Structure 1
Amino acid sequence: MRGRSDKLFCDLHCKGAYHYRSALENEPRFFNQVDNQLKQNRRLLKNYNKSGKAIIRKDLLIEEGFNPNYFTHYWKNTKGDVYLFVYEYGFLRKVEHTVEKYVLIKWQEYMEK
């Protein structure tokens, strides 16, 4: 190797490859885990809510990797129901005939008030 006596890598490519491999071997950081779960939750809510409002069984979403403990904000309607949102897609837990379901909605302008 040429250069400084304390040089660790032969060039930028070697340095980048080393750090990439070491990042794969280490556990993901907490921020990355939260961000990945939020992205997955948003993707699932978007896929199941094509029309702006939908109802889906809770266990179906959970099977696909949805985690209701990860959300970005909430909104409370006039009835007192609290919708949890993952960015612009929201969900509300409901129980109908002993079956847990989620009511899926999309953020609307009137909710900002």
Structure 2
Amino acid sequence: MRFHKECLYCKKELVGRTDKKFCDPQCKSGYQYQKAKEQPERFYDKVNNQLKLNRKILKEFNKGGKVTVRTEILKDIGFNTNFFTHYWKNQKGDVYFFVYEYGFLKKVEHGIDKFILIKWQDYMLKKTPLGL
């Protein structure tokens, strides 16, 4: 008895084993990709994608080690200040937020919102009495 089955991806008739689902590896890959795209984006993926975007933006704009940029420029290309990996407080009490090795501090100068962009330095690593 012959079963007429079709490929789950391209719908072509399958030839060969009775439990075969795809006609070739490309159809199998395409089917799995299509199914993955139908799934809602996971929270972890959203956070990770925004962190990657934030880091990319900070890296692109901070070529000199310390740079001042208008807030609107970064936000217009997708920078989101709510996503950061850690923070560092300097001796003046300013809190820099970091996305991995790139940091930013929000300042208002002459009524204009700006970010001061910096790169992580070894001296920023604060040692506790236990060396942690």
Tell me whether the two structures share a fold, i.e. TM-score over 0.5: yes
Would the alpha carbon gap of residues 19 and 59 (structure 1) be closer, same or farther in structure 2, given more than 3 Å must change? same
Would the alpha carbon gap of residues 25 and 97 (structure 1) be closer, same or farther in structure 2, given more than 3 Å must change? same
5+ residue gaps in structure 1? none
- Calculate the TM-score normalised by the size of structure 2: 0.76
Greater relative contact order (Cα < 8 A, sep 6+): 1
Q: CA deviation at 1:9?
A: 2.7
The answer on 1:62 being equivalent to 2:63 is no
The answer on 1:2 being equivalent to 2:17 is yes
Q: Indicate which of 33, 48, 55 corresponds to 2:61.
A: 48
Q: Partner amino acid for 1:50?
A: K
Q: Partner amino acid for 2:99?
A: V
Task: Name which one, 1 or 2, has greater alpha-carbon Rg.
Answer: 2
Would the alpha carbon gap of residues 81 and 24 (structure 1) be closer, same or farther in structure 2, given more than 3 Å must change? same
How many Å separate the matches in 1 of 2:74 and 2:116?
Answer: 12
- How many residues get paired? 110
How many Å separate the matches in 2 of 1:83 and 1:12?
Answer: 52
Q: 1:38-92 deviations in whole A, cap 9, x for unaligned?
A: 1110111011110100000001100011001000110111111110000000000
How many Å separate the matches in 1 of 2:90 and 2:54?
Answer: 22
Mapping of residues 1-113 of structure 1, within 5 Å: 2=17, 7=19, 9-10=21-22, 13=25, 14-113=27-126
- Calculate the TM-score normalised by the size of structure 1: 0.88
Q: CA deviation at 1:32?
A: 1.1
What is the identity percentage for the equivalent residue pairs of Structure 1 and Structure 2? Answer: 55
Q: CA deviation at 1:33?
A: 1.1
CA RMSD in angstroms comes to: 1.7
Would the alpha carbon gap of residues 60 and 23 (structure 1) be closer, same or farther in structure 2, given more than 3 Å must change? same
5+ residue gaps in structure 2? 1-15, 127-132
Q: Partner amino acid for 1:109?
A: D
